[in-house]
Amino acid sequence: MTGRVQVDPQRAFAEIAEFNRTLAQGLSLLDKTRDRDVQIATTPKREVFRQDKTVLYHYEPMAKREVKVPVLVVYGLIGRYTMADLQEDRSLMRNMLGQGVDLYVVDWGSPTRTDRWLTLDDYIDGYLHECI
């Protein structure tokens, strides 16, 4: 036994028209947005270590320290740690800081041709070891 799907053509047309209006507004907004208008990774932090392109940041506390063990966020080599701190109301970093976590993050930097011979051992036993 199969159920019949009933579609009201006028309602469907109205929904499609509204979707198209919303999509056009979004595209217009994106077209007007410039890189200088977008601020990401704005949670206050300070550089505490640097070696080559690798940087270790320590975030400024936002609440009384509740967690005794510091947390080190090590983001992947592809992608950036800024994905966890996109904007103030969508930030893993701010959320953890608000819960009293003592927070550090490693930024591997942007790789270039000069990094093509680096191995995982270089990153783990070299750069990451020095950060810790």
Domain assignment present for 21: no
Domain span at 94: 45-131
Domain assignment present for 101: yes
Domain assignment present for 2: no
Q: Quick check: 103 and 71 in contact, CB under 8 A? A: yes
Task: Count how many domains the chain has.
Answer: 1
pLDDT, residue 1, reads 59
Domain assignment present for 31: no
Whether the pLDDT of residue 112 is over 80: the answer is yes
Tens digits of per-residue pLDDT, 41-89? 889 999 999 999 999 999 999 999 998 999 999 999 988 899 899 888 8
How far apart are alpha carbons 47 and 124 in whole angstroms?
Answer: 20
Domain assignment present for 38: no
Tens digits of per-residue pLDDT, 13-24? 999 999 999 999
